Amino acid sequence: MFAAGFRAGDLVHNTFSYHMTPGGWIMEAGAQALGCTVFPGGIGQTEQQVQAMGDLRPDAYVGTPSFLKILLEKADELNVDVSCLTKALVSGEAYPPSLRDALAARGVLGYQAYATADVGVIAYETAAHEGLVLDESVIVEIVRPGTGDPVPEGEVGEVVVTAFNRDYPLIRFATGDLSAFLPGASPCGRTNLRIKGWMGRADQTTKIKGMFVHPSQVSDVIKRHPEVVRARLVADNETGQDRMTLHCEAVSSDGMKESIALSLREITRLRGEVAIHPAGSLPNDGKVIEDVRKYE
């Protein structure tokens, strides 16, 4: 919140839920630690929230970026002046550049926070707008989805967090989110590690020919064949039937395809094709299983 410009004495309009989730309480605790006053707006009741903003004149907003956009548009519709709102800390969903620019055009500078209900804050954005700086109270790893194996720096993988919270300790908690480490330190001066931000979900389990195929099974295939650097299972139905192809980065050798195909069949209980590619040719997007099937 401090990195987003929140300061002691600010009035913060908190639109995260206080009911059945810890989001509202997490954000309120952070604001109070800074010396801010919090209005617990919660979710829904758009018109009432806008009227409260018009009357109370908050300096800052906390909540999802999409709901902030809804509130500003409703304020226009109701002719309520909410120009007092100049800063925001948004979380809970993707924050695309188009929405960031739209809010900035309204005079609201919005910064991201990456947090989960289990851990609380994991990383946050600064004025540099170059990735998210990791919170100093957590340890973050980026691993290959479906495994606990760290990926090389810069490669996309699943965010795994260790938090030594005395009340609720978590060791290698898999968030299910994809991200990647950024090299170097932030231009803002903060020196902790940075991640690129939220880059999608890591859960890529899919059903092929009625059978579930998991990222961990792809990992098990790779472990049987050390010559394979990285692999990506693609499911398609171009022939009218489900088909899966395991694309592998490796140096091709005699009998390699047949050997990998046998391992694939033994582990997944499904027949699949194997394609060999040179190192570095598969997309660096964290996907282990890609489903490109089309249903018309």
CATH number at residue 253: 3.30.300.30
Q: Indicate whether 21 and 66 sit together in one domain.
A: yes
In a domain, 296, yes or no: no
Q: Indicate whether 279 and 227 sit together in one domain.
A: yes
In a domain, 123, yes or no: no
pLDDT at 140: 97
Q: Look up the domain containing 101 and give its range.
A: 1-117
pLDDT at 61: 98
In a domain, 53, yes or no: yes
Q: Indicate whether 76 and 100 sit together in one domain.
A: yes
Last residue of a domain, one of 83, 117, 151: 117
pLDDT at 115: 92
Q: Indicate whether 89 and 157 sit together in one domain.
A: no
Using a 10 angstrom Cβ sphere, with 0-12 exposed, 13-18 middle and 19 or more buried, the burial of residue 170 is middle
Q: Indicate whether 110 and 15 sit together in one domain.
A: yes
Q: Indicate whether 111 and 7 sit together in one domain.
A: yes
Q: What is the pTM of this model?
A: 0.75
Q: Indicate whether 113 and 18 sit together in one domain.
A: yes
In a domain, 166, yes or no: yes
In a domain, 34, yes or no: yes
Q: Count of domains in the chain? A: 3
pLDDT at 146: 77
Q: Indicate whether 175 and 240 sit together in one domain.
A: no
Q: Indicate whether 73 and 165 sit together in one domain.
A: no
pLDDT at 170: 95
**Positions in the chain short of pLDDT 70:** 210, 295-296
pLDDT at 285: 87
